[in-house]
């Protein structure tokens, strides 16, 4: 399993739990879950890109 | 949506708050099943259970570090223990050591710890549902 797929799975599962916990209505849950998922993946890509100049 | 419908029918049960929290700790989603919110319970069981199992598959270590010698290790251990019976079952099945040389070791640790931390939120949600603060 690649690192990116691991990130996607983690983001999807955590976003699902957050959405069910924090919203009551189905439509609001879907919207919140998708926003949370995009935030997880987007922030990971941005942070990864910012770290790319540093040597390993 | 069906959950909202169920919530409209099922009244708050303040006396069930403590048993619901205990059940929620023992197994993710069990507290919501007890409070007659099966959709929520199934979602939590599936998502948190999947996180924990995937963490084990990624060679996570299930430490049982308690005490004040290493506070961070103790907090991490508490986070993993918060998933309840699956943690104990995994330890009894021999998954406690993990594999520190595995490339996914740290990912696995993150998955198992986050699964436990999410289960703490689920326990609090079960309490809120029982006392009528949430549907």
CB pairs A-B closer than 8 Å: 42
What is the pTM assigned to this prediction? 0.89
Radius of gyration from C-alpha coordinates of chain B: 16
pLDDT value at residue B123: 97
pLDDT in tens, B87-112: 999 999 999 899 999 999 999 999 99
Sign of CA dihedral B80, B86, B91, B95: negative
Report yes or no: A25 at the B interface, CB cutoff 8 Å: yes
3-state helix, strand, coil in chain A (%, to 5): 80, 0, 20
Report yes or no: B107 at the A interface, CB cutoff 8 Å: yes
pLDDT in tens, B42-71: 999 999 999 999 999 999 999 888 888 889
Tokens of B130: 């029982």
Radius of gyration from C-alpha coordinates of chain A: 14
Tokens of B9: 């029918």
Average pLDDT, chain B: 90
- CA distances to B77, B94, B130 from B109, in Å: 10, 16, 32
pLDDT value at residue B9: 55
Report yes or no: A5 at the B interface, CB cutoff 8 Å: no
Q: What is the mean pLDDT of residues A10-21?
A: 97
């Amino acid at each position: 399993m690649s690192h990116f797929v691991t990130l996607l799975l983690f983001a999807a599962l955590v976003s699902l739990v957050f959405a069910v916990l924090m919203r009551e209505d189905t439509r609001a849950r879907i919207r919140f879950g998708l926003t949370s998922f995009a935030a997880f993946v987007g922030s990971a890509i941005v942070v990864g890109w910012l770290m790319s100049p540093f040597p390993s | 949506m069906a959950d909202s419908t169920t919530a409209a029918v099922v009244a708050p049960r303040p006396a069930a708050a403590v048993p619901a929290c205990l059940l929620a700790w023992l197994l993710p989603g069990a507290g919501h099943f007890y409070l007659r919110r099966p959709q929520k319970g199934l979602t939590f069981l599936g998502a948190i259970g999947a996180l924990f199992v995937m963490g084990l598959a990624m060679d996570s270590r299930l430490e049982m570090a308690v005490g004040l010698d290493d506070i961070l290790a103790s907090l991490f251990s508490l986070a993993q223990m918060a998933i309840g019976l699956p943690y104990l079952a995994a330890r009894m099945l021999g998954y406690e050591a993990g594999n520190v040389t595995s490339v996914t070791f740290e990912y696995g640790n993150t998955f198992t710890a986050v699964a436990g931390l999410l289960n703490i939120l689920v326990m609090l949600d079960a309490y809120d549902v029982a006392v009528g603060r949430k549907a």
